Chain A
Amino acid sequence: MQQETPKQIRFVGKLDPDFVQKMWRGWKKVKFEEEMDPQFAEKVASYPGCNTLFDCIQCGTCSGICPMGSFMEYAPRKIVGMIRAGFKGEVLTSYTTWLCASCYACTVECPKNIKITDIMYALKQLAIKEHMHPRRLPIPVLARQFFEIVKKFGRNNEGKVVINMYFRTNPLLPLRNLIMGIKLYLRGRIAFTQDKIQNIPQLTKILNTVKM
Chain B
Amino acid sequence: MSYLYYPGCCCSMKASGKAYEESLMAVLKKLGVTLEELKDWNCCGATMYMAIDQMQAFGMASRNLALAEQQCPNKTPELMAPCSACYVVMNKTKHFIEDYKEQVGTPIRNALKEAGFTYTGKTKVRHPLDILVNDIGLDKIRQHVKKPLKGLKVASYYGCLLVRPYSEFDDVHYPRSMDNLMEALGASSLEWPLKTRCCGGSMTGTVEDAGLRLSYIILNEAERRGADVVVTACPFCQTNLECFQQRIQRKSKGGISDLPILFFTQLVGYAMGIPERELGFHRLFVPFHFSPKQVVTEGVE
Contacts and interface: CB of A to CB of B under 8 A. Distances in A.
Interface of A: 47-49, 67-68, 71, 99, 101-105, 107-108, 117, 121-122, 124-125, 128, 137-140, 142-144, 146-147, 150-151, 154-158, 162, 165, 180, 183-184, 187-191, 193, 195, 197-199, 202-203, 205-207, 209-212
A198 B243 contact: no
Contacts of B58: 210
B263 to A, nearest CB: 13
Contacts of A108: 164-165, 172-173
A195 B160 contact: no
Contact of B51 (A121, A202, A206): A121
B202 A142 contact: yes
Given A48-B103, A155-B43, A138 B16 contact: no
Contacts of B203: 68, 99, 101, 139
Nearest to A124: B51
Contacts of A107: 164-165
Contact of A49 (B42, B52, B96): B96
A41 B52 CA distance: 20
A207 B45 CA distance: 11
| 7 pairs of A and B residues whose beta carbons are closest in the complex | A103-B160, A191-B14, A103-B198, A209-B111, A156-B9, A146-B48, A154-B42
Interface string B158-202: 001100110000001100000000000000000000001110111
A157 B56 CA distance: 19
Interface in B86-102: 88, 96, 99-100
25 contacts: A49-B96, A101-B198, A102-B47, A105-B196, A108-B172, A125-B53, A138-B207, A139-B203, A140-B51, A142-B205, A146-B49, A154-B42, A154-B43, A155-B12, A157-B9, A158-B15, A158-B16, A189-B15, A190-B16, A191-B14, A197-B42, A199-B40, A202-B63, A203-B42, A207-B59
A212 B55 contact: yes
Given A68-B203, A122-B54, A180 B243 contact: yes
Contacts of A67: 197-198, 200, 214
Contacts of B10: 156, 158
Given A104-B160, A108-B165, A155-B42, A143 B18 contact: no
Contacts of A102: 47, 50, 201
B165 A104 contact: yes
A192 B31 CA distance: 34
Select the residue from B14, B55, B88, B283 with max chain A CB neighbours within 10 A. Answer: B14
Given A187-B282, A209-B107, A105 B164 contact: yes
A142 B205 CA distance: 9
Contact of B110 (A47, A199, A209): A209
B115 interface: yes
Main secondary structure of the interface of B (DSSP, over half): helix
B88 A104 contact: yes
B115 A105 contact: no
Nearest to A128: B52
A105 B103 CA distance: 25
B55 A210 contact: yes
Contacts of A150: 42-43, 45, 49, 60
Contacts of A68: 198, 203, 210, 214
B139 interface: no
B56 A211 contact: yes
Contacts of B214: 67-68, 101
Interface in B6-29: 9-10, 12, 14-19
A97 B167 CA distance: 24
B204 to A, nearest CB: 10
A126 B71 CA distance: 37
A156 B202 CA distance: 14
Interface string B204-229: 01110010001000000000000000
Contacts of B299: none
A197 B112 contact: no
A184 B15 CA distance: 9
